[in-house]
Structure 1
């Protein structure tokens, strides 16, 4: 029996084909249309329908490259199931390198959205109705924000067996049990019945090769775990370290920050992580770990104020 075509927007994708579609969002003052770019890889054989998206925040470039590389490696003639790829969700923000939309709304606090709401709400609604509603699994790709960089990590509901199984298949260095944020794509998609993994890695508006490589391999491993593709030819990956508790160490003074720990490094409670110095080099304050665990995020800002988050440590 021939597999039916896949419908999205105004197009139909036949089994064994790849097609791109531009879903209308809005029109600029110049008269140019702004569309949501989507590519569908519709396998010849039956299987799950999965989406992968990036750049819900317009300054997050790592995920866009992850999607590009994943698509380049897929063959619809041998793939089972269907992959919907949305490399840039926040198109307007991405064009200017801005995390938010022109109205300063955070798109990842605007789901599930509304067809008649704000611009952010309309984009969220379009994403939910045309992409998420058609899928059973989703991978949402992100990077650090506000001059922070993140160790490759999966954030998900680790208490849900199916979600944890896919998080383990992704095999990022750390998988973090993360609470649901109201208005996020993950929250809305879960409410709609989808299993969602959120990938965090690298720094905003950077093409961090190590974060891209870990993301590409992780997505490919999930597709293989779902039976959509063959397993990667690689040595067995190191199992993810699971964490159910994490916190940021905050600066207790203001100054130039010199950190002495790297992403992925294991630290002990009370260990010195770095120091704060004034402009003449006089040490103002030391920074110490407040829990034992692995460093999963750190600020890259050269100057911090009292109370700023500087090192993210997850208990494992």
Structure 2
């Protein structure tokens, strides 16, 4: 017996087919419609229903490219289960390179949303009802924010066995145990019973190839671990380092920043990470690591003020 069609919005996608569709969001003052772009791959055989999304923040381009490359290699005729892809969730922000929506709301603090709420609330409600409610696993793609770049990393609930196993399959350089934030997609989806991985990699409004590559490989590995696709033809990835504690080293002075610490670098407490200089080149203060760990984020801003976050260090958990 043929697998039943998959219903989303007003569209029904037949088994073994791929379908692009648009879910209506709002109408502009010009009368033009703004829609949420969605692509559904509905496999011929039974399997999990998974979503992957990007650009919940409109200045995060890396995830959009990750989704494009993942979809380019998938054949719905050979897929087991169903994949729902949302390459650009914050459409209005993405068109202008703005992290937020036109009303300055953070979409990732607006879930689960409301059908009669603000623009952010309506988009969140649309995603929850048409996508998340139909899925058991989700991958939420992000980059660093506010002139910060992030080492490819997964943030999830390491106390949840399924999330932990999926994060291990993704095999990002680092997996961080991250608390749930009220209003986030990850929080709202977990309340609905979905296992969610949040991927961070690269810098906002840049197409960092190393962050794209890590994201593409990670998503493909998760799909393979779920039995939806065949395993990748690659050498076994290096196991992800696990961390339950991390923190930002903050500037203890104001000046031009010259960072020496690189993403992925192992550091020990007291190690020199860089220095602050005035406009004439006189050194104002050095920046030192406040803990042992691995550098998972760094500012790319040339000028920092006292108290600004400079380097993000994750303490590594002992593991076999």
Question: Fold match, TM over 0.5?
Answer: yes
- Shift, 1:18, TM fit: 0.2
Q: 1 CA distance for matches of 2:252 and 2:180?
A: 29
The residue correspondences of 1:29-178 to structure 2 (distance < 5 A) are 29-178=29-178
Q: 2 CA distance for matches of 1:292 and 1:214?
A: 25
Q: 2 CA distance for matches of 1:236 and 1:112?
A: 37
The residue correspondences of 1:144-223 to structure 2 (distance < 5 A) are 144-223=144-223
- Shift, 1:144, TM fit: 0.1
- Any stretches of 5+ residues in structure 2 without a counterpart? none
Q: 2 CA distance for matches of 1:208 and 1:260?
A: 20
| Deviation string, structure 1 residues 156-180 (Cα, Å, up to 9, x no partner) | 0001111000000000000000010
Match of 2:299 in 1: 299
- Shift, 1:155, TM fit: 0.2
Q: Secondary structure at the match of 1:141?
A: strand
Q: 2 CA distance for matches of 1:111 and 1:310?
A: 30
Q: 2 CA distance for matches of 1:110 and 1:193?
A: 18
Q: Secondary structure at the match of 1:115?
A: coil
- Shift, 1:236, TM fit: 0.3
Match of 2:23 in 1: 23
Q: Secondary structure at the match of 2:67?
A: helix
Q: Secondary structure at the match of 2:25?
A: strand
The residue correspondences of 1:239-278 to structure 2 (distance < 5 A) are 239-278=239-278
* 4+ aligned runs moved over 6 Å, structure 1: none
Q: 1 CA distance for matches of 2:50 and 2:120?
A: 23
| Deviation string, structure 1 residues 61-93 (Cα, Å, up to 9, x no partner) | 000000000000000001100000000000000
- Shift, 1:257, TM fit: 0.2
Aligned residues: 316
Q: 1 CA distance for matches of 2:228 and 2:263?
A: 32
- Shift, 1:258, TM fit: 0.3
- Shift, 1:209, TM fit: 0.2
Match of 2:284 in 1: 284
Q: 2 CA distance for matches of 1:291 and 1:219?
A: 31
Q: 1 CA distance for matches of 2:254 and 2:4?
A: 62
Q: Secondary structure at the match of 1:211?
A: helix
Q: 1 CA distance for matches of 2:274 and 2:10?
A: 55
- Shift, 1:24, TM fit: 0.2
Q: 1 CA distance for matches of 2:201 and 2:146?
A: 14
- Shift, 1:2, TM fit: 1.0
- Shift, 1:256, TM fit: 0.2
Q: TM-score, normalised by structure 2?
A: 0.99
- Shift, 1:229, TM fit: 0.1
Q: Secondary structure at the match of 1:312?
A: strand
| Deviation string, structure 1 residues 125-180 (Cα, Å, up to 9, x no partner) | 00000000000000000000000000000000001111000000000000000010
| Deviation string, structure 1 residues 260-298 (Cα, Å, up to 9, x no partner) | 110000000011100000000000011000000000000
| Deviation string, structure 1 residues 80-109 (Cα, Å, up to 9, x no partner) | 000000000000000000000000000000
- Shift, 1:15, TM fit: 0.4
Q: 2 CA distance for matches of 1:65 and 1:260?
A: 29
- Shift, 1:302, TM fit: 0.2
- Shift, 1:200, TM fit: 0.1
Over the aligned positions, Cα root-mean-square deviation in angstroms equals 0.3
Q: Secondary structure at the match of 1:175?
A: strand
- Any stretches of 5+ residues in structure 1 without a counterpart? none
Q: Secondary structure at the match of 1:314?
A: strand
